[in-house]
Amino acid sequence: MKNHFACLFLIFLTAMLCCSCSKRGPLALFNKLSPHDAYAQRLKDAGLERSAMGNAWLQKGQLSVSNPLNISIPYKETGYFSAEKIPVTALRFDARRGQKLNISLTKKPQTNFSIYIDLLQEQSATEQKVLASADTNGRSLEYEVKENGKYILRLQPELLRSGEYTLTITSGPSLNFPVSSSGKPHIGSFWGDGRDNGGRRHEGVDIFAIKHTPAIAAANGTVTRVTENTLGGLVVFMHPDNRDYTLYYAHLDKQLVQDGQTVRIGDTLGLVGNTGNARTTPPHLHFGIYTNGGAIDPLIFVDREVKSPPPISASLTLLNATARTTARNNALHIEPTDKALTRQSVPISTPLTIEAATDGWYKATLPDGTQGYIQSRNVTTATATLRRITLNQARPLLDAPDSVTAARKATLANGTQVAIRGSFKNYYLITDDNENTGWINMKIE
């Protein structure tokens, strides 16, 4: 019956959305809105926000970014979106200015299963700003971080579509490396290192290389000044396109550009040397970044090390399945690491739904809707029977472990034998001989 209703609603949804597009004009809509917001607007235009499913999709999308789970970059998860649950996931992480975030998403099935991707910046506990968006037609999203802070990634599929996805988030430098690889460059001095017997601090990084190695443009931009000074010797300043900072190349042996010259990534600006106060040091490029507020650490902007997320070792067979805990004491964490705060202690045989897997962890939801991360080694399928009991009186079979708000799925007669699959608070998760599954109050047993 549920599948029949879903098919009818899908036909109705498709028809209404098509009508909505014809009325408003899709090009005007999509030019102004993100793919996620455009889809939400189409639901509203079709009047579907007044339906239970349409309203739930809109509300869950908004609420998810106010209560995200925490992760650390790099990160990878494989999960399952079930159409029956109207799913959405939101993940919060720290990012620093100068990083380029690389977000990729693969999915099964590849067609007729759209997932909307939104990157937001957390501005307060209740405010978020959308920075970049995509849908899975593009399958990837890149964003250059403009300021240090907390960021949220939201994934939400369209209504009545189910499927598996794999999300990968990595970060790398937003600028190209400023010294040609031909000189075998390496960074040998970092931001904040002492100078002049502690009289000042290093305002950049020193990249050592063979003398006369090309110092190259780290971005497309314009050379703003070619000059000489006491500390830097022969120097070049350039302003990258569409950025709010200036790049500084110092200790050059030779300058090969002029004021006002337009350059492209990889163009030679000068040759590595040791002019200025570097006369007694091996040849190197002092590379700095200056903003209106002064110098900032350039390492994140050019660091070539891109870390990969750990492989997923948790079994994917439990995705979208009802599982249960196997250890006596389990912790539901706010982040997939033992060092993270515990959101809730979970006793043995507690049922939970597995939403996704990452590293050796499951992203899981308890029967009351509480979500977090639990170690996969402490979880197993809930299909096996813990024990069997015979009801000594008629009992309502509920769709959730809550006698006040849960709906009655059926009434189990006195003498009915049931298999206990798990327990949560004062309720058993059971299955009867007719394969009906639900919750009964264990206190009255």
- pLDDT of res. 135: 81
- pLDDT of res. 202: 81
Final residue of a domain: which of 139, 173, 207?
Answer: 173
Do both 375 and 406 map to the same domain?
A: no
Do both 203 and 345 map to the same domain?
A: no
Find the CATH number of the domain harbouring 346: 2.30.30.40
Residue 119 maps to a domain: yes
Q: How far apart are alpha carbons 428 and 445 in whole angstroms?
A: 10
Do both 158 and 29 map to the same domain?
A: yes
Final residue of a domain: which of 173, 197, 216?
Answer: 173
CB atoms near residue 351 (< 10 Å): 21
Residue 1 maps to a domain: no
Instruction: Please calculate the CA angle 442-444-445 and round it to the nearest 5 degrees.
Output: 65
Q: How far apart are alpha carbons 329 and 45 in whole angstroms?
A: 49
Cis (ω within 30 of 0) for the bond into 26? no
Find the CATH number of the domain harbouring 228: 2.70.70.10
Residues 6+ apart with CB under 8 A from 17: 42, 43, 46
> pLDDT (tens digit, 0 to 9) for every residue of the chain, 445 residues total?
445 445 545 544 554 555 444 444 443 444 568 999 999 999 999 999 999 999 999 999 999 999 999 999 999 999 999 999 999 999 999 999 999 999 999 999 988 899 999 999 999 888 999 999 988 776 689 999 999 999 999 999 999 999 999 999 999 999 999 999 999 999 988 887 656 565 567 889 999 999 999 999 999 999 999 999 999 999 999 999 999 999 999 999 999 999 999 999 999 999 999 999 999 999 999 999 999 999 999 999 999 989 999 999 999 999 999 999 999 989 999 999 999 889 999 999 999 999 999 999 999 999 999 999 999 999 999 999 999 999 999 999 999 999 899 999 999 999 999 999 999 999 999 999 999 999 999 875 4
Do both 146 and 211 map to the same domain?
A: no
- pLDDT of res. 136: 72
Q: How far apart are alpha carbons 432 and 419 in whole angstroms?
A: 6
- Whole domain around residue 394: which residue ranges? 387-441
What pTM, to 2 d.p., does this model score?
0.88
Cα 227 versus chain centre, distance: 44
- pLDDT of res. 5: 45
* 165, HSE (Cβ side, Cα atoms, 13 Å): 28
How much of the chain is helix, strand and coil, in % rounded to 5?
15, 45, 40
- pLDDT of res. 198: 57
Do both 164 and 54 map to the same domain?
A: yes
Do both 224 and 95 map to the same domain?
A: no
Residue 6 maps to a domain: no
Final residue of a domain: which of 132, 152, 173?
Answer: 173
